[in-house]
């Protein structure tokens, strides 16, 4: 790989152990991918910062960097951890070990000392700082839903970086020129259409099933082109998360959304997904019974989604099911007061900094209903029975479960 004189100096340790170590990792991975050079990044989002995930070895490595006085070279945000920092026991059915908290706090202290903004959220794309990232600029993001959203919706460039690479890239402010950082690798060659009746709307559950199908069948180096209208922001977000969870894709060009220029006429392969296949999967995943818990917030909910949930719940007289919402502190700080009061009166758990998947939550055999395919994908692996409904169907299913007043 070609390195500038400055990059070579960093690699050779002229600026100290920490920078050299980070540069060595970036250069050796870049070399193994046959990357020709390094490019600058404007932002990093570090995943894999949960103590439950990286344990003592990860904690020690980050602390070593921090003790060395290493600072992040670019603005850096951080993914969720395993608990709510303001209420350790906020997650139902979950007890957080105090040693776990001690380990996590050390990681957070180190990251903060290095200059990270402790956003503890997987939706960096909802943070105000995202407006500072220009379309087309390269970043190093290490959270799969954010990677897909960043490439496909914001038009910024990132590969799917693992936690360690996003950390090292944040330190050196550079990443190898490879994959989706290269413009031509972002131009789709295969179009996906859904064969469906005219009034068939693609909500977030259906979009996620489409994401699952595309992830399984797409066999081309370039991103797929989804030639469908996605209903709203929730749909786009959950679609991005399903793409990230169900396979290895890092980008989908979405009709009318992805800011990219290409000649559609040059696409000569179209794959049609039949809506009956979506319906079949939707039926498999839909709830058969009342859940023990309803979960929204994978990826973290927006203020808009939280207020929408509150609006639906306002009509509920006697809510018998525990509702859990996970979100970022940033979005939570913007919620309308009335909505907050409704959530409080319904005993809804609004939890920050974490999610049911990253936290040690894992009550075997529990019935959870959610609108998130990604939550379904990972919680099912923990032995939890997960089924899917659209957020917009919340009111209707609550009525079916007789949680609503009769006059509704
Ligand atoms: Fe975010 Fe947790 Fe889902 S980190 S994308 S809410 S698995």
Per-residue pLDDT tens over the stretch 346-399: 999 999 999 999 999 988 889 999 999 999 999 999 999 999 999 999 988 888
pLDDT tens readout for residues 116-125? 999 999 999 9
* Angle, CA of 146, 193 and 142, to the nearest 5°: 10
Instruction: Provide the pLDDT confidence category of residue 315 given band limits of 50, 70 and 90.
Output: confident
- Mean pLDDT computed over 10-20: 96
Angstrom distance (rounded) from CA 321 to CA 153: 34
Instruction: Provide the pLDDT confidence category of residue 406 given band limits of 50, 70 and 90.
Output: very low
- Mean pLDDT computed over 158-184: 97
Judge whether 50 and 59 are in contact, CB under 8 Å: no
Angstrom distance (rounded) from CA 325 to CA 7: 44
- Ligand 1 pocket test target in 82, 208, 374, 386 with most atoms within 8 Å of CB: 374
Output the pLDDT for position 288: 82
Angstrom distance (rounded) from CA 369 to CA 291: 6
Instruction: Provide the pLDDT confidence category of residue 270 given band limits of 50, 70 and 90.
Output: very high
Determine the distance separating the centroid of ligand 1 and the alpha carbon of 67, expressed in angstroms.
Answer: 30
- Mean pLDDT computed over 112-140: 97
List residues near ligand 1 (CB under 6 A). 79-80, 122, 145, 241, 297-300, 326, 355, 357-358, 374, 378
Which residue lies with its CA nearest to atom 5 of ligand 1? 299
Does pLDDT of 182 surpass 50?
A: yes
Output the pLDDT for position 46: 97
Which residue lies with its CA nearest to atom 2 of ligand 1? 355
pLDDT tens readout for residues 321-350? 899 999 999 999 999 999 999 999 999 999
- Ligand 1 pocket test target in 332, 357, 376 with most atoms within 8 Å of CB: 357
Output the pLDDT for position 400: 79
Output the pLDDT for position 405: 54
Instruction: Provide the pLDDT confidence category of residue 104 given band limits of 50, 70 and 90.
Output: very high
Determine the distance separating the centroid of ligand 1 and the alpha carbon of 358, expressed in angstroms.
Answer: 7
Does pLDDT of 214 surpass 80?
A: yes
Output the pLDDT for position 92: 92
pLDDT tens readout for residues 20-30? 999 999 999 99
- Mean pLDDT computed over 190-208: 95
Instruction: Provide the pLDDT confidence category of residue 407 given band limits of 50, 70 and 90.
Output: very low
Bigger pLDDT: 241 or 292?
241
Instruction: Provide the pLDDT confidence category of residue 231 given band limits of 50, 70 and 90.
Output: confident
Output the pLDDT for position 404: 58
pTM over 0.75: yes
Judge whether 1 and 35 are in contact, CB under 8 Å: yes
- Ligand 1 pocket test target in 53, 78, 81, 122 with most atoms within 8 Å of CB: 122
- Mean pLDDT computed over 18-44: 98
Judge whether 37 and 29 are in contact, CB under 8 Å: no
Angstrom distance (rounded) from CA 322 to CA 191: 41
Q: 176, 173, 174, 143: which is closest to 160 by C-alpha?
A: 143
């Amino acid at each position: 790989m070609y390195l500038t004189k400055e990059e070579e100096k960093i690699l050779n340790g002229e600026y100290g152990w920490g920078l050299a170590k980070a540069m060595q990792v970036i250069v050796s991975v870049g070399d193994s991918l046959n990357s020709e050079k390094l490019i600058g990044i404007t932002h990093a989002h570090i995943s894999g910062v949960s103590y439950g995930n990286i344990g003592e070895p990860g904690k020690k490595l980050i602390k070593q960097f921090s003790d060395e006085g290493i600072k992040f070279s670019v603005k850096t945000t951080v993914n969720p951890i395993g608990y709510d920092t303001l209420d350790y026991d906020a997650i139902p059915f979950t007890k957080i070990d105090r040693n776990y908290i001690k380990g996590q706090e050390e990681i957070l202290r180190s990251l903060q000392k290095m200059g990270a903004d402790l956003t503890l959220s997987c939706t960096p794309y909802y943070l105000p700082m995202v407006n500072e990232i220009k379309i087309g600029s390269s970043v190093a993001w290490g959270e799969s839903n954010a990677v897909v959203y960043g490439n496909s919706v914001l038009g910024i460039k990132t590969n799917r970086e693992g936690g360690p690479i996003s950390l090292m890239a944040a330190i050196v402010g550079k990443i190898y020129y490879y994959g989706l950082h290269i413009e031509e690798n972002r131009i789709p060659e295969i179009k996906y259409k859904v064969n469906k009746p005219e009034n068939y709307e693609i909500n977030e559950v259906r979009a996620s099933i489409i994401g699952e199908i595309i992830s399984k069948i797409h066999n081309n180096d370039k991103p797929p082109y989804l030639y469908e209208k996605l209903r709203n922001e929730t749909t786009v977000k959950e679609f991005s998360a399903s793409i990230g969870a169900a396979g290895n894709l890092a980008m989908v060009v979405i009709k009318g959304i992805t800011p990219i220029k290409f000649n559609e006429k040059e696409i000569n392969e179209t794959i049609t997904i039949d809506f009956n296949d979506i319906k079949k999967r939707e039926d498999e995943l839909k709830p058969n019974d009342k859940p023990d818990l309803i979960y929204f917030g994978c990826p973290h909910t927006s203020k808009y989604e939280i207020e929408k949930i509150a609006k639906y719940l306002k009509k509920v007289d006697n809510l018998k099911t525990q509702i859990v919402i996970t979100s970022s502190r940033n979005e939570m700080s913007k919620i309308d007061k009335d909505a907050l009061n409704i959530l409080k009166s319904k005993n809804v758990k609004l939890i920050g900094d974490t999610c049911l998947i990253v936290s040690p939550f894992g009550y075997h055999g529990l019935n959870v209903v959610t609108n998130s395919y990604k939550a379904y994908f990972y919680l099912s692996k923990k032995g939890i029975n997960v089924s899917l409904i659209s957020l917009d169907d919340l009111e209707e299913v609550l009525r079916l479960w007789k949680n609503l007043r009769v006059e509704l």
